[in-house]
Structure 1
């Protein structure tokens, strides 16, 4: 798969190098989970190093490479207006060029189009590096689109892996990126060929899991801040002794928070076995989980799912709130983007939207239609 993507990845690397040599600002917008952060940081490290070596201005690295975090799993209008406003201000005040925007671990769905089009209106270029199932309409707005689905791969090739490979093409001298690829694989539970990055990192799965957990725990409380100082430290680009302590401490906090929530949450989980032999677990996030603390609903649903799948080889877990449902599955051939399209037809006026990976994703709807949407969703799983 990486061979198949090589040409497009080379094109992206050329585009990024060109931007650095022309002093054109680069905005890296990535999702806030471990995979997104690892991808974003890989590009950031390679580009900042390149800027330091090639630009006479010692301050250049601060304004030419900006890494920013997206809360939503797509490029939100809320994010794009901030980026655009800053970019236009820099054009006005400092005579900067309109930036090159790189979307990491998002940017390949139809939800991304409105934001992308806004930036294009001002002459920006947008590149997507993602491993979610792509919508075809996005491509007409993108300069380049690196996605394993385009060459017959799947979401196991994480954004972190793709960005690490591109970062190496951008700047072959950069070290320490194997760890980023490995953390993104463990964080996104990828399997198969990509697991060789875990061996290359020289860390155990447990250590990688802890680093990913520490990133997500800190990321949850950082909200929209990219906090490169803290994040680089967690990923081992600072003092090694401090990294160990920091990761142990943060992962410890995160595990404690997850355990506490899990004990409460399991009381609110209802499991039924459908006629087709699939176990369907439903969990009421709104009434059985704390609000505004770690772990967020998606993470908590994932943890419940991990517990349940030990007993049920074929299971779908749905964590639902007033206006959303988070879906996780094991041993079942789901297609969440297709489900969403069908639900939009079958439950009209429910404002259904969402997506994600084929077997992991989320659906949003209006609260009044929650019963209808969840009933249809259960029926779809029952008829697989």
Structure 2
């Protein structure tokens, strides 16, 4: 495994699916490597992404060069759409499980299968992944206990998750391998540096989240749906700090968490911008991928796309039909 590591490239992606921009960048990178250095075209491993119909055009582009593709993901899949283009598809939904078995957990287990010698160094990583994704899987308690045996309290794991999220925001499309490894304490040669780095990044993340929530709190719209659930809406373009941390998805999630704690009732939160919205829900049965399908049928002129988990996701649409999309969404959730 060590000999192959220099040939492994980590290429971050921001979108909830594999966009043409991403595949064009990745394909160009691979073709340049072949032309300049005689490298073979790569095997593409998609992590925490790549299971839906929106990914198909990008995969079809890769088939022109016979690039093999495997996906490890825990988002709600469209297997009929993607599997003809994949060499392997690992997703808990395909085995009567769901998003609670997170991509991070599965990746650690796959890594251990490939190289068992790294097991000890990764004992805390599944717990970080699960807590960051708010997993309620039965295995979570075991993973947290395993991390505790390795010297990590639950608060440590949460701080590592926040530090990684903060670092990833500023890294954007850069790999950031050493920084990420130091924050995660995998392959980090200086324990003190890891602890100081996590403390610094986690504190900065908390500060910026608090500032964001303070800015938008007075502008949150609230209504009670017929189902009894609370619906909160916020115009992120007008009332949130832009082009900084936290991004719209994180901002909506943090606002949602505060309202869940305050009410103790079922809550839906919509954070929206000119041509997108982010959805979060607790205690409400939603099916966001299905809602996207229905929106396309009812508002074909709105250019709706997106998805995610059943109860957490993001949707894109054309700017001029934002009002119609949001109101139709609310009607479906009522």
- TM-score using structure 2 length: 0.95
Contact 1:236-1:243 within 8 A present in 2 as well: yes
Within a 5 Å distance, the mapping from 1:101-140 to structure 2 comes to: 101-135=44-78, 136-140=80-84
Match of 1:321 in 2: 273
Within a 5 Å distance, the mapping from 1:151-170 to structure 2 comes to: 151-170=95-114
Match of 1:194 in 2: 139
Quick one: which of 248, 252, 256 aligns to 2:199? Answer: 248
Q: Quote the offset at 1:92 in angstroms.
A: 2.0
Matched residue SS, 2:116: coil
Q: Quote the offset at 1:61 in angstroms.
A: 3.1
Match of 1:279 in 2: 230
How far, CA to CA, are the matches of 1:200 and 1:87 in structure 2?
A: 39
Is 2:243 the counterpart of 1:292?
yes
Is 2:39 the counterpart of 1:87?
no
Is 2:104 the counterpart of 1:185?
no
The count of residues paired between Structure 1 and Structure 2 equals 325
How far, CA to CA, are the matches of 1:274 and 1:95 in structure 2?
A: 61
Match of 1:374 in 2: 326
Could you tell me which runs of 5 or more consecutive residues in structure 1 were left unpaired when the two chains were aligned. 1-49, 53-59
Contact 1:279-1:312 within 8 A present in 2 as well: no
Q: Deviations over 1:33-89 (max 9, x none)?
A: xxxxxxxxxxxxxxxxx133xxxxxxx532x11111111121121111121112112
How far, CA to CA, are the matches of 2:171 and 2:154 in structure 1?
A: 25
Q: Give the aligned CA root-mean-square deviation in angstroms.
A: 1.1
Quick one: which of 291, 313, 316 aligns to 1:364? Answer: 316
Q: Quote the offset at 1:363 in angstroms.
A: 0.9
Quick one: which of 131, 146, 156 aligns to 2:90? Answer: 146
Match of 1:12 in 2: none
Matched residue SS, 2:26: helix
Match of 2:5 in 1: 61
Quick one: which of 121, 124, 136 aligns to 1:176? Answer: 121
Matched residue SS, 2:135: coil
How far, CA to CA, are the matches of 2:274 and 2:5 in structure 1?
A: 44
How far, CA to CA, are the matches of 2:32 and 2:225 in structure 1?
A: 57
Match of 2:304 in 1: 352
Match of 2:162 in 1: 213
Q: Deviations over 1:314-363 (max 9, x none)?
A: 11101111111100000011000000000001112100111000000011
How far, CA to CA, are the matches of 2:76 and 2:269 in structure 1?
A: 20
Contact 2:16-2:307 within 8 A present in 1 as well: no
Matched residue SS, 1:244: helix
Matched residue SS, 2:322: helix
Contact 1:318-1:328 within 8 A present in 2 as well: yes
Relative contact order (C-alpha < 8 Å, sep 6+): which is higher?
A: 1
Q: Which runs of 4 or more aligned residues in structure 1 lie more than 6 Å from their structure 2 counterparts after TM superposition? A: none
